[in-house]
Amino acid sequence: MTLQAPFSLKNKRVLVTGACGTVGRHLINQLLMRDDAPDEVVGVDNNESELFFLDQEFLNHPNVHLFLCDIRDGQQISARTRDIDVIFHTAALKHVVMCERSPYEAVHTNILGIQNIIAAASANGVALVVNTSTDKAVNPTNVMGTTKLMGERLITAANDSGSANATVFTSTRFGNVLGSNGSVIPIFVNQIRSGGPVSLTNTEMTRFVMTIEQAARLVIDSASLAKGGEVLITKMPAISIKTLAEVMVDHLAPVFGHNPSDIDIVEIGTKPGEKLYEELMNDEERRRSIELDDYYAVLPAFRGMYPIDYDYPNIRNQELQTSYNSTEQALLTKSELLDFLVSNNLLSVSLADKAQKERYWPGDKLDRSSK
């Protein structure tokens, strides 16, 4: 199979890695709802229990097949990639704390696992691989971000075969997915429910945000743009974390029987490796980027290695003047942010059920035990 314009998933077989993850399971849902829904969706994950429950969710979808499979096992992933047309790769170790404590495991999943995906896709004639990446790959300050950056570079380098029928490998990079596992909103909900305080590491902190549904849709849509070797950066609204806390306190405190004025918002100090702002594109990448309608496309640094014509439709700007970080964007106002949260059902009390009450970072336990 080769990529054709307009891009369509109809009559295709699609593989989603990390099927039990937040983005993975939403990807499967959205693939099934598309007008050009694929003939078959294969999902793989190494989480046996969650895979079992996910299988129950898709009981009435005979074209969804889920398998226990670890991307760290090259032989396994190669077997599951046979006769697959498109791969959406979302499997990764993503929690900064866990990767910092177990860097060896992060390397095996986020770097060697991607190499297994590349080898399997190339050997089995897969047409397209879309790798999902993160803002933490930009000027990384921790193990997780470093491994995700290396994953992006491996995906780019996989496009150097020069063959007309070679697999197209691309990455898509986005920031905070609100409401996902480990995001700040469930923590804030829990803290507000307990009567506060709501804890911020720094009141000047800004972030890009999007919903799980938006993330999944944009990952799929990015497939239609892929030329090979680029990193597609999703355009996202930016917010102040302090404003987020204030909006949530005002809206949720009465729900839990509290007076908003009685709930304090406290600053607890920036944690090691934490940035005050979020970067989706640094200044070096800016010089080789193109602006599209919903994305920025960061082209490979060594263009001569990749015989690819980056002729995207609807190019808005070929020379960017600024990098893409949250401090340089207009922040959502309180009313805009509340509309965003309410319209996307992000203030649900149920979000707090699995969230911790305190902010947590590597070294916290060691710091406490030494006192």
With respect to residue 182, please indicate whether it lies within any of the assigned structural domains. Answer: yes
Q: Quick check: is 6 in a domain?
A: no
Instruction: Provide the pLDDT for residue 355.
Output: 46
User: Cβ(230)–Cβ(299) under 8 Å?
Assistant: yes
pLDDT (0 to 100) of residue 103: 97
**pTM for the whole thing?**
0.88
Asked if the peptide bond before residue 313 counts as cis, ω within 30 degrees of 0, the response is no
pLDDT of residue 7: 77
**Positions of the chain with pLDDT lower than 70, given as ranges:** 1-6, 161-165, 179-182, 349-371
Q: How buried is 122 (Cβ within 10 angstroms: 0-12 exposed, 13-18 middle, 19+ buried)?
A: middle
Q: What is the C-alpha separation between 161 and 138, in angstroms, rounded?
A: 26
- Asked if 267 contacts 242 with a C-beta cutoff of 8 angstroms, the reply is no
Number of structural domains (the chain) is 1
CA dihedral 109, 187, 190, 91 (to 10 degrees): -20
Q: 315 in helix, strand or coil?
A: coil
d(CA 349, CA 24): 23
Active-site amino acid positions? 136
236 occurs within a structural domain: yes
Residue 366 lies in a domain: no
Whole-angstrom Cα distance, residue 306 to residue 156? 9
Identify whether 155 is part of a domain. Answer: yes
Element (H, E) at 252: helix 241-252
The strand pairing partners of 209, in sequence order, are 176
Average pLDDT, the chain: 89
Angle at 267 between CA 266 and CA 268, to 5 degrees: 110
Round to whole Å and give the CA distance between 363 and 265. Answer: 23
Q: Does residue 370 lie within any of the structural domains?
A: no
Across the strands, what pairs with 234? 295
With beta carbons less than 8 A apart as the criterion, state whether 13 and 39 touch.
Answer: yes
**What DSSP state is assigned to residue 292?**
-
Q: Which domain holds residue 174?
A: 13-359
Residue 78 domain-assigned (yes or no): yes
Q: How many CB atoms lie within 10 A of CB 282?
A: 14
Q: Give domain status of residue 254, yes or no.
A: yes
Non-local CB neighbours of 105 within 8 Å, separated by 6+ positions:
93, 98, 99
Question: Which two three-digit tokens encode residue 353?
Answer: 């059920």
Whether 205 contacts 265, CB under 8 Å: no
The CATH number for 64's domain is 3.40.50.720
| Residue of 272, 280, 226 whose CA lies nearest to 366 | 272
Tell me whether the omega of the peptide bond preceding residue 140 falls within 30 degrees of 0, making it cis: no
